[in-house]
Homo-oligomer: A and B are copies of this chain.
Amino acid sequence: MKVLGIVVEYNPFHNGHLYHLERAKEKVNPDFTVAVMSGNFTQRGEPTIVDKYARAEIALSLGIDIVFELPFVYATQDAGGFAFGAIGILHRSGVVTDIVFGSESSDEEFLKAIAGILHEQPWRYQEILHIKLKQGLSFPNARKEALFEYVKEKKILDPERVRNIEKSNDILGIEYVKSILRYGSKVRFHTIKRVGAEYNDGSFKGKLSSATAIRRMIKEDNFEKAKEALPEKSSEILEREFKAGRGPVFWSDLDRLFLYRFRLMDRDDFKRIYGFVEGLDKRFYEFSKKAKNIQEFIEMVKAKRFTYSRLRRMMLYVLFEVTKEFMEDVNAYGPQYIRVLGFTEKGRELLGFMKKKVSIPIITTPSMYEKFLQDEELQINEELYKKMFLYDIKASDIYSILYPSENNREGNNDFKRKILMI
């Protein structure tokens, strides 16, 4: 039995996603296809344009058999943490045999070699990395330079190619492979070339536009135009959500919440938050008072060594009080449960297999989440399990406040919404 697993945000599901899904299926020829999908907040540190239920529904309508939720604490991390969470879910599901992801280079051997070095951390590589860090390079740059020199010295790969790993999908691809190695997972991985717009290309390109461009089009109140880039089912469900006042939700909707949260904090409070390195606490503390909105704030905080995505993620960590201490455990143990957002008729069958294979809870009914703690056969860190899961609940409860229509702003959606069956 072959089960294909993919990692997605579907924010929103567009033609490029459909194309990717079809190519992946051609490559693997699976019996089932599952996706692990970010919940209500993304790797770019933004709330999703519509909530996880609507996005899961679209995914199930367009060829995915089961949608798992990537826990908030992984969905909002950089490539390393994001991949560690996503691969963790697919691996720990116990049924996924093949993983496919997009890649610019699409050279599996190359990705594997690099991921191998990063995973095994040979002594000589560590030595060079140490020197680079001492020279004052940021960690990502020191790592790149150390890899470059290491492969050059060992003559195992083309060093110039190493220097060119810049495109986000290749960085992510390496992290996926590294995570596979880290879990000691037997899943096979495959890459496919991306088509259409770049991940971060914000300009609208018609049929094959990026999610960023589509969201921008919707923000500019041009949903009709955005539809060109969306499969019909995706357009239909998005439109239904917008009409019901459950979207579209944008980063700017968090404006006053961010300002409130930042201005409440003392400078030292920032230091406890995940991701805060030297000096950023001061910048957040001071600029949150100098700025009149969060767009202005982020422009003030921005420095060459921080990408916008990283800053937005850090802003989320502050909003949700995500501490360094907690994230150490998150990134040491991996996902402690598999939340199922929905499944198709066909997916139900796979879910049956899964339940016999897993060693972590499969949560289909969130209100039952505490019951699992009585099952002594499960291999989980109980405290981490609870805390990680409650972050998903909080993310939903706070996301609800952003719905355009006040009538939808009640919380507890995770406990009230029935699991999707299509």
Chain A positions within 8 Å of B, measured between CB atoms, are 256-257, 259-261, 263-264, 266, 288-293, 319-321, 390, 394, 397-398, 401, 406-412
Chain B nearest CB from A72 CB (Å) reads 13
User: Which residue of B is nearest A397, CB measured?
Assistant: B263
Name A289's contact: one of B264, B266, B289, B412 (CB within 8 Å).
B412
Chain B nearest CB from A296 CB (Å) reads 9
Name A397's contact: one of B289, B293, B409 (CB within 8 Å).
B289
Question: Contacts A260-B257, A398-B260, A398-B263 hold; do A410 and B292 have CB atoms under 8 A apart?
Answer: yes
**Measured CA separation A260–B289 after assembly (Å):** 20
Cβ-defined contact, A406 with B320, below 8 A: no
Name A260's contact: one of B290, B390, B401 (CB within 8 Å).
B401
Question: Contacts A257-B256, A289-B397, A401-B259 hold; do A264 and B321 have CB atoms under 8 A apart?
Answer: yes
**Measured CA separation A401–B259 after assembly (Å):** 7
**Measured CA separation A411–B285 after assembly (Å):** 11
Residues of B within 8 A of A407 (CB): 292
* Chief secondary structure at chain A's binding surface: helix
Cβ-defined contact, B409 with A259, below 8 A: yes
Cβ-defined contact, A264 with B410, below 8 A: no
**Measured CA separation A410–B259 after assembly (Å):** 10
Residues of B within 8 A of A319 (CB): 260, 264
Cβ-defined contact, A292 with B260, below 8 A: no
Residues of B within 8 A of A291 (CB): 410
Cβ-defined contact, B321 with A263, below 8 A: no
User: Which residue of B is nearest A287, CB measured?
Assistant: B411
- In the complex, the count of this chain's copies comes to 2
Residues of B within 8 A of A293 (CB): 406, 409
**Measured CA separation A197–B294 after assembly (Å):** 43
Candidate in A259, A321, A390, A412 with the most chain B CB atoms within 10 angstroms: A259
Residues of B within 8 A of A259 (CB): 401, 409, 411
**Measured CA separation A321–B265 after assembly (Å):** 10
Residues of B within 8 A of A408 (CB): 292
**Measured CA separation A394–B398 after assembly (Å):** 23
Name A263's contact: one of B263, B264, B394 (CB within 8 Å).
B394
Name A256's contact: one of B290, B390, B401 (CB within 8 Å).
B401
Name A411's contact: one of B289, B394, B410 (CB within 8 Å).
B289
Chain B nearest CB from A352 CB (Å) reads 33
Residues of B within 8 A of A406 (CB): 292-293
21 contacts between A and B (CB under 8 A): A257-B257, A259-B401, A259-B411, A260-B261, A260-B319, A263-B394, A263-B411, A264-B320, A264-B321, A264-B394, A264-B398, A289-B397, A289-B410, A289-B411, A290-B410, A290-B412, A291-B410, A292-B406, A292-B407, A293-B406, A293-B409
Residues of B within 8 A of A261 (CB): 260
Residues of B within 8 A of A290 (CB): 410-412
Residues of B within 8 A of A398 (CB): 260, 263-264
**Measured CA separation A98–B129 after assembly (Å):** 74
**Measured CA separation A407–B296 after assembly (Å):** 11
**Measured CA separation A320–B288 after assembly (Å):** 16
Q: A263-B397, A292-B408, A293-B409 are known contacts; what are 16 more A-B pairs with Cβ within 8 Å?
A: A256-B256, A256-B257, A257-B260, A259-B411, A260-B319, A260-B398, A263-B394, A263-B401, A264-B320, A288-B411, A289-B397, A290-B410, A290-B411, A290-B412, A292-B409, A292-B410
Residues of B within 8 A of A394 (CB): 263-264
Residues of B within 8 A of A397 (CB): 263, 289
Candidate in A261, A290, A292, A412 with the most chain B CB atoms within 10 angstroms: A292
